[in-house]
Each structure stands twice: as C-alpha cells, then as structure tokens.
Amino acid sequence: MKRLFALMLCLVMALSVIPAAAAGDTENTGILPEEITTIEPEAAAPGPDAEPQTEPSVVDSGTCGEGLTWTLYDDGLLQIEGSGEMTDYDSGGAPWYGYRGKIKSLDLDINVRHIGNRAFYACTNMTWSEETHPSHTALVTSIGDFAFFMCYKLDYLDLGPYLRSVGKQAFSYCRGLKRVTVQSSPSFAAHAFSGCTGLEEISFIGGTPTFSSTTFTDCTATAWYPAYRDEWTSSLLQDYGGSITWTEGCHGWCGDDVCWDYDASTRRLTLSGSGETWDYHVAFAFPSFNRLADGITSIKVNEGITTLGVLIFCYMQSVHHIYLPDTLTSIHSLAFERVKEMEEIDIPASVTSLGYDIFDGCYYNLEKINFLGNAPTSIDSYAFGGLTATATYRGDKSGWTADVLRDYGGTITWVQIIVKPTITTQPKSKSAKEGSTVKFTVGATGGGLKYRWQWRRNSSDSWNNCTSATTGYNKATLKVSATTARNGYQYRCKVYNSAGSVYSSTVTLNVLAVTSSPTYVSTTAGKTATFKVTAVGKGLTYRWQWRRSSSDSWTDSTSATTGYNTATLKVSATEARNGYQYRCRVKDSAGNTVYSKVASLYVLKSQPSSASVAEGKTATFTVSAYGTGLKYQWQWRKNSSDSWKDCTSATTGYNKATLKVTATAARNGYQYRCRITSSERTVYSATVKLTVK
C-alpha cells in the first residue's frame, strides 16, 4: 500500500506541471519549453576516490506493450526489451513518467517496431545509451505523437530504413538535437521537429518523405538530399515552417566529429573530420551510408580520423579499394566485414591496434595486406580469422619479430619487403678547429642498409671511398679528424641494399687553424712594428690582444691600434711598449676560436748598423737599450742559414754595448746581433753585417 500510494502521489505531482494544452491531442500546442517545468538531473557521480560501485539495482519495472518490458535502474538507465510495438500513452504518460527526472539514458531493443505516443515525454535528462547509439531506431517503423517531446539532451537521430511515419510533435523542443539522418521515406506529421533550435543538419538518404507545412517550425538547418534521384523536385524543397537550406549531396555522420559524403558520379564514399567513428554493434545497426552500399566502389578515409569502429564498412560488397590515412591508429573488430571485392589493402604506419575478424567474409578476393610501418603493438589473436592471404612488412621497420609473424586465425604468408633506401636525414657541413673530431651523420630507411662514405678535395675532383683509416667509413656516422690539410674537403655517403642505392647530399669540412703566427719584432723607438697572422676557415674574424708580460692577463686591442681586427696589426714602437706581448684570436662563422702563438715587441734606443771596413781594420757595432742593470751578449753567425753563437773574450766588448771586431777575410759577410738581458726581459737587436774590403 505504501508503494502504491507513493506512485499515485508522484503521478499527481507530475500531472500538475503539465499545461492543459500540452496534455491534449491538438496538432499544434504552441507551447514553449520555458512553460514546462524542467526536472533537474541528480547530483554528479562520485569522484575517483569514492568507494567502488556495485552493479546497478532495479528501481522499477513492468510491461510497455505486448511482448515488451521496461526496467529502470538506479544509475538512470531505462531499458526497453522484447519484440513488438510499444503502447500508445495518453496525457498521463508512460509508466516511467514519474521517474523522468532520474532517466539518464535509453537502451531500446533492436526489435521494437513502434515507439508509442508520449513514450518519453519530458525526459529532459535522457540521452541514448552506448548500447543503442547511433542506430537506435534500426527496425522501428513508426514513432508516435509527442514520443520524445522536450528530450533536451538528445543530440543525434538515425531514423532507420524501415521507418514509415513520425507523429505530431514527436521531437518538439529537443533543443539539444543537432543532426538527424533519415534513411527511409517516412511521413512527418505537424510540428514533428518544431522548436528544435539547435538543429544543424538533416540528411535524407532514401526516397522522398512527406512533410507537414509545420514540420520544421522554428528550425534553422541545412538539409542534404540525393539530387541524382529524380523524385527530389523543386516543389519538395520547401522550408516547412522553418528556415531550411537545401543542399545537393549524400551526406551524413558516422562519428561525433566524423561525417561521410557520397559522390554518385565517382561512386566514392569519403569520410572526413577528426577522431573516432562510431561502433555499430547490434544486429542490423549498420552505418547510414550502408543504404548506398551497392553503389559504392571505393572508400577514402581522410586525414584526421584516428579510429575505424566496429562494422563501420560492413557489407560494402561492391567496394574494390579502401584508402586509409596516416592519422589512423586503431581498426576495430569486423571493420571490413564482407567487403568482398577488395583484393588488396595498405595498413598505414600509424596503425597500432587491430581488432578481431576485421576481414571477416573477405576471403573471396582479398589476397594481400601491406603493413607500411612498425609492427602494430596490439593484434587480436583472431584478427585475420578464416583469411588466406599474403601479408607484407617492410624490412626497415621495427617490431616484426617471429612472435608477431603469426596467422591470427587465418592462413597468412608473411613476406618481408626490402625497399630501396630513402635518405631521411641529410648530413650537415661542419666547421671545427684544428685537432678536434668532426662527425657527419646520415639517416635513411630501407631494409639491410649498408653505408660507404666518400671524400674529395673540391668540386672538380673525383670521389674517393673513405677507408678504415677513417672511423665509421662504413657506418651511418663518419668521424674525421679536423686537420689543416682537410680544410675544404667534401664528403657524402652512399647508402645501399639489395634493392638499390642512394647518395646523401654533399657537405664540406671547414677547419679553423692558424697556419702562420706572428714573430717577435725588434725595432727602435718611433718606428712601427708589424705583426701578421695567417689562418684558414670559414667566415674568419680577427681580434688582436696584448699584455705587458707573461704574468698579466690579455687585453683586447682597440681601434687606437691600426688593424686590431684584421690579419695585420701595426703598433707604434715606444719605450712604454718595450717587452709587450701580442697574439691574435681568430674565430670562424660557427663560433670556433683559435689563437696564434705569442710574439713580443722589443724597443731599443738605437740599433747597430752594418759596417764596411778594410781588411785588418776594426769594425764597431753599438746598441743602446732602455732599462737598468742591463747585460749584453753579442752573437754571430756566418750567414742566415747558420745558428747563432755567442761571441767570446776573443772579441773586444762581446759583453758590452759596443762590440769591436777585427776585419779579416774569414769574417767577410758575418752577421752580428746583441742579446740584451734585464731582470724583466730579453731583447735582441737588429741583425747587422760585416763587409771586409
């Protein structure tokens, strides 16, 4: 009694919110959704930290037609099971009307033939369950008046191929409804879709329906129709109370973000969009384009689509070719079931998962499956059930182990394909300083790859094979020691296998090196001292540096010094610069840096002069230097090719500022210089010559 009383109370409360006009059978109620109380959904489901949930329990159940039962679960699922026609309900609503606010999803048995009047009236929170989406009316022949009136959350309708009639206001005020596919040619009663303000597309695939003048009142949508069928006359393409843009073409949806289009002239079906297609997993619940199956001879799946759902191309028996995109990652079970005319198919490199029986019924003509990438990480053990075919895989791709090369329920002959190498990463030219090691690397694809690096001095020379003297000469990476001799050398790599060969681009080794360093300069005050450096490399820049002595830090020369940023530095010889040291920093365009050797500047007050005296006379050489505590040592050599030797006591003044030498025939042409030493530095005078007359 308590349960009966509660049910009666709920019914009275529900009826109290239904305006009288809506409860009647008038064709056009004129009711706006805002005039009817909306029942809010229950609280959100528990978060991830909630206690584990048990199986849903039954809230209520009963019959809803001859051979049909209904069950409502506490998770909000309303399940209609059985075979036959639902009862038509009056203004009191269906048996579950009192629970309409709790109903979140609808699972409609495939064998339901008629959806009764007011069956789901004002179920404002109800969507289709995963078990029936998207082909929720596959075998339905009629939909009653007000059947889905004000079902706000319905977003898609696929009205199956057997539908003959849609009652008045059947989908009125389903304002969340965006897309409708009509596979048959039903009659639409008055206001069938009135108030569906979110409606964007209506796709007509079958014959010509019959419309009421108010079928689409307040709707603004695009309506696709198969113009190649003569019955779609201009008189049929009307607004029917709304604002309808009629567009030629066979068009529909097979995923939340995936649409399909059929071109009757080329007989091609094209899938476009992004993400996954729907799974079709109940009997006769085929994609809507299956209505055109006999006309379709090829299928093109565009880039952006990642998953082909269960039974997506089932019974496409006239299709010869299916083109799959590089974005595809997963092919679900039975995806190509009974595509009988297909002889060969390419599986893109992006595919990582294959479901069971994906080629079920394709054993008539399918002979070859070509895998273009690495081995998929997931292949169902019965993926190729019943199929006898050749499966090819590329030798340059990974993962193709003996464990992967199995039959998967069929009789599969696996064949490795060796493809001609393709360069994927070209080597790059390198700049390096002398003495370092340079690496050139090439990237390539192809099975059984071999490498041979080659070199030449310049573009006019012939290529020579690198040998074992060069590290990695027969590998993907070549290592070369950067020497001055190799500056400007060119390199390339020949990549080859049994299918052919290909050459990489030519690259250049630029070696940064100082080939000639500056030498010390000894000159008198007021003169100009010149230091020069010679270097090789690419995009060279120069910066001269100086320091007072070996214990000081280096300082960059500035514009006050002529040629401070060129290969030649000119410095005014002053007493203050006596003993200064100079070097040049050389950089290349890659940022590598090398330094010249250090050269010193020796500044004297005066230099000795060459002497020409008669034999037997005395020649005098005098030097004058800056500093205190100076020590002198004169030196001599016979000519420029000899080494210097210290003068001894046999020569007058050999250790003084003035040297006196007796002019003898033997000394004709001798050269002299003075080494001057202080506590800070050693200075050499200019070299002078003795000529004996």
What would the two tokens of residue 666 be?
């033997």
What would the two tokens of residue 84 be?
């036959």
Instruction: Judge whether 11 lies within some domain.
Output: no
Annotate 270-320 with DSSP letters as a single string.
EEEESEEPPP--STT---GGGGGGGG--EEEEPTTEEEEPTTTTTT-TT--
Same-domain pairing of 166 and 243? yes
Sign of CA dihedral 295, 298, 304, 305: positive
Q: Which residues pair with 636 in a beta bridge?
A: 645, 672
Strands 534-536 and 507-516: antiparallel
| Mean pLDDT per 10-residue interval, the chain, length 693 residues | 33 32 34 38 44 81 97 96 96 93 94 96 93 77 97 94 96 97 96 97 94 97 90 93 96 95 95 95 80 93 97 94 98 95 97 96 94 96 96 91 96 93 96 95 91 96 88 94 95 95 97 95 92 96 94 89 93 91 96 95 92 94 90 95 90 91 94 90 89 94
Same-domain pairing of 592 and 631? no
Q: Using the 3D structure, point to which of 107, 141, 175 is the last residue of a domain.
A: 141
Q: What tens digit of pLDDT does each residue of 59-92 get?
A: 999 999 999 999 999 999 999 999 999 999 998 8
Q: What is the distance between the alpha carbons of residues 302 and 325, in angstroms, rounded to a whole number?
A: 6
Same-domain pairing of 292 and 400? yes
Same-domain pairing of 358 and 280? yes
Range of the domain at 201: 155-248
pTM as predicted: 0.65
Instruction: Judge whether 47 lies within some domain.
Output: no
Q: How many Cα atoms within 13 Å fall on the side-chain side of residue 379? A: 22
Number of domains within the chain: 6
How would you list the strands of the sheet with 378-379, edge to edge?
A: 275-276, 305-308, 330-331, 353-354, 378-379
Same-domain pairing of 361 and 284? yes
Cβ neighbours for 434, distance < 8 A, ≥ 6 positions apart: 482, 483, 484, 511, 512, 513, 594
Residue bearing tokens 């007509």: 204
Q: Using the 3D structure, point to which of 388, 417, 446 is the last residue of a domain.
A: 417
Whether 455 contacts 615, CB under 8 Å:
no
- Whole-number pLDDT of residue 476: 96
Annotate 394-437 with DSSP letters as a single string.
ETTSS---TTTSS-TTSEEEEEEEP---EEEE----EEEETT-E
Q: What is the distance between the alpha carbons of residues 350 and 332, in angstroms, rounded to a whole number?
A: 15
User: What is the 8-class DSSP label of residue 566?
Assistant: S
Instruction: Judge whether 666 lies within some domain.
Output: yes
Same-domain pairing of 390 and 265? yes
- Whole-number pLDDT of residue 19: 31
| Phi and psi, residue 582, nearest 5° | -135, 145
Same-domain pairing of 63 and 137? yes
Q: What is the CATH number of the domain that holds 661?
A: 2.60.40.10
3-class SS of residue 467: coil
Q: What is the distance between the alpha carbons of residues 619 and 670, in angstroms, rounded to a whole number?
A: 12
- Whole-number pLDDT of residue 396: 82
Q: Using the 3D structure, point to which of 248, 270, 301 is the last residue of a domain.
A: 248
Helix (H) or strand (E) holding 6: helix 2-15
Instruction: Judge whether 3 lies within some domain.
Output: no
Question: By C-alpha distance, which of 290, 254, 261 is closest to 275?
Answer: 254
Residue bearing tokens 């989406």: 133
3-class SS of residue 665: helix
Instruction: Judge whether 148 lies within some domain.
Output: no
Query: What is the number of residues in the chain?
Result: 693
Same-domain pairing of 410 and 311? yes
Instruction: Judge whether 463 lies within some domain.
Output: yes
- Whole-number pLDDT of residue 40: 38
Same-domain pairing of 450 and 579? no
- Whole-number pLDDT of residue 92: 85
Strands 378-379 and 353-354: parallel
CB atoms within 10 A of CB 366: 22
Strands 112-115 and 142-143: parallel
Q: What is the distance between the alpha carbons of residues 513 and 597, in angstroms, rounded to a whole number?
A: 12
Whether 622 contacts 608, CB under 8 Å:
yes
Whether 86 contacts 115, CB under 8 Å:
yes
Instruction: Judge whether 21 lies within some domain.
Output: no
Same-domain pairing of 591 and 615? no
Tell me how many degrees the CA angle 465-470-476 measures, rounded to the nearest 5.
Answer: 75
Same-domain pairing of 406 and 489? no
Q: What is the CATH number of the domain that holds 304?
A: 3.80.10.10
CB atoms within 10 A of CB 77: 18
Instruction: Judge whether 437 lies within some domain.
Output: yes
What is the greatest pairwise CA distance in the chain? Answer: 155
User: How many Å from the N-terminal Cα to the C-terminal Cα in the chain?
Assistant: 152
Q: What is the distance between the alpha carbons of residues 57 and 77, in angstroms, rounded to a whole number?
A: 10
Whether 176 contacts 155, CB under 8 Å:
yes
Same-domain pairing of 298 and 402? yes
Helix (H) or strand (E) holding 113: strand 112-115
